[in-house]
């Protein structure tokens, strides 16, 4: 039986109760919320291991809730959406969502996605691992999610941290956008790679001119690499 706590956020109470029933049947503890404000309060009080978050909510919508959660936590978020536009999916990834489920969905699919994301999260964040990469004027600490540039901490969203850590941990290796989506975000993202470009652009703004010993390079027609120089 699975263990862990799941927070289900959807303005449709019947969807919440149905998901709660299936999730608890799998051995999880579950609570529900029906609007954005309640979701944020229950995230703090319930301390879930994962959140199922609908986009269309009264008051604070799912995007705003995701943004607020990511200011204080890297706990996984699976977005629930009836929308299929690529823009919605890209925006969710940029804000730090871990996966998507499009309505209408099968309860078994939801359980499978929950288990997959939790399993991936545990694999990515072993408790005994001290994950720090350093270069001249740069320190990337993924244990504490801290990026230091010239000795000063720079506020950096979780996915940007994971992306620069992944690239810097593999210096001079070229990654395609699809590889980065798979290895950093953890799932095949329908071949849409714009979110990788957005994250790289934001990282470059933070790292521009910091050192001439390394650089975040574009390999035209292929992808990106963290290039180190002798």
Predicted confidence band at 84 (pLDDT cuts at 50, 70, 90)?
low
Predicted confidence band at 188 (pLDDT cuts at 50, 70, 90)?
low
pLDDT in tens, 115-124: 888 887 776 5
Q: What pTM was computed for the model?
A: 0.65
H helix intervals, the chain: 13-25, 36-46, 62-70, 86-95, 107-124, 158-168, 177-180, 194-207
Instruction: Quote the tokens at residue 78.
Output: 């699976």
pLDDT in tens, 31-54: 999 999 999 999 999 999 999 999
> 144 pLDDT exceeds 50?
yes
pLDDT, average across residues 64-83 = 85
Tell me the domains of the chain and their CATH numbers: 5-124 (3.40.50.2300), 132-228 (1.10.10.10)
Instruction: Quote the tokens at residue 75.
Output: 């706990």
């Amino acid at each position: 039986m699975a263990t862990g706590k799941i927070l289900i956020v959807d303005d449709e109470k019947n969807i919440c109760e149905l998901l709660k029933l299936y999730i608890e049947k799998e051995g999880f503890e579950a609570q529900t919320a029906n609007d954005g404000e309640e979701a944020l309060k229950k995230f703090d009080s319930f301390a879930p291991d994962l959140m199922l978050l609908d986009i269309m909510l009264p008051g604070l919508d799912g995007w705003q809730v995701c943004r607020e959660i990511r200011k204080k936590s890297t706990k996984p978020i699976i977005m629930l959406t009836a929308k299929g536009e690529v823009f919605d999916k890209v925006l969710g990834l940029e804000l730090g969502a871990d996966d998507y489920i499009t309505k209408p969905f099968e309860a078994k699919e939801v359980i499978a996605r929950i288990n997959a994301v939790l399993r991936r999260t545990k694999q990515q964040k072993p408790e005994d691992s001290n994950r720090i990469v350093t270069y001249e004027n740069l320190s990337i600490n993924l244990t504490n999610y801290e990026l230091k540039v010239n000795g000063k901490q720079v506020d950096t969203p979780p996915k940007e941290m994971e992306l620069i850590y992944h690239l810097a941990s593999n210096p001079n290796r070229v990654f395609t956008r699809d590889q980065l989506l798979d290895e950093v975000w953890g799932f095949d993202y329908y071949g849409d790679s714009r979110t990788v470009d957005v994250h790289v652009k934001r990282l470059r703004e933070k790292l521009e001119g910091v050192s001439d010993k390394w650089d975040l390079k574009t390999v035209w027609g292929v992808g990106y690499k963290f290039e180190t120089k002798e």
